[in-house]
């Protein structure tokens, strides 16, 4: 049987280089503020997604960053929802104020008509 130690060393070296590229791509994406997922890491590093899924260390690293991205997105949406809810409260308060002012305006118009009638009678 032929000696395959050279082939194994070569394979181990390629795997090590691929890991380094993938980890650098993850750091680069986080530094740029971009989403970290298997597709973006694959595109940035030039490493296949299959390799990224198969390597346990890289897979765990990407999944942690992806989970953080999802949590961050949820927090952003929750903040937006709070803003939308507070906006609805403000609109409701303004609607009440408008209704109250319209009622007061109607009452004052009627009072002006009554007073005009009193002035013209005199």
Domain boundaries, position 34: 5-92
The DSSP annotation for 80-117 comes to: HHHHHHHHHHHHHHHHHHHHHHHHHHHHHHHHHHHHHH
Contacts for 39 with CB less than 8 Å, ≥ 6 apart: 49
Structural domain total, the chain: 1
13-60, pLDDT tens digit by residue? Answer: 999 999 999 999 999 988 888 888 899 999 999 999 999 999 999 999
77 part of a folded domain: yes
114 part of a folded domain: no
119 part of a folded domain: no
113 part of a folded domain: no
In whole angstroms, what is the distance from residue 82 CA to residue 26 CA? 32
41 part of a folded domain: yes
- Assessment of whether the complete model's pTM goes beyond 0.85: no
Look at residue 65 in the predicted model and tell me its pLDDT.
Answer: 84
CB atoms within 10 A of CB 45: 22
Residue 109 pLDDT > 80, yes or no?
Answer: yes
Q: Is 4:23 a contact under the CB 8 Å cutoff?
A: no
61 part of a folded domain: yes
For range 101-119, the mean pLDDT: 94
66 part of a folded domain: yes
Look at residue 81 in the predicted model and tell me its pLDDT.
Answer: 66
Residue 9 pLDDT > 80, yes or no?
Answer: yes
63-94, pLDDT tens digit by residue? Answer: 888 887 777 777 677 766 667 778 888 888 99
117 part of a folded domain: no
């Amino acid at each position: 049987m032929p000696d395959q130690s050279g082939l194994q060393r070569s394979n181990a070296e390629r795997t090590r280089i691929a890991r380094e590229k993938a980890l650098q791509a993850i750091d680069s994406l986080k530094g740029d503020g971009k989403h970290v997922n298997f597709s973006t890491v694959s595109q940035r590093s030039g490493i296949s997604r299959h390799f990224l899924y198969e390597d346990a260390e890289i897979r765990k690293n990407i999944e942690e960053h992806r989970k953080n991205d999802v949590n961050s997105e949820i927090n952003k949406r929750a903040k937006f929802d709070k803003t939308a809810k507070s906006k609805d409260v403000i609109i409701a308060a303004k609607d009440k104020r408008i209704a109250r002012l319209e009622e007061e305006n109607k009452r004052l118009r009627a009072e002006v008509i009554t007073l005009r009638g009193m002035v013209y009678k005199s």
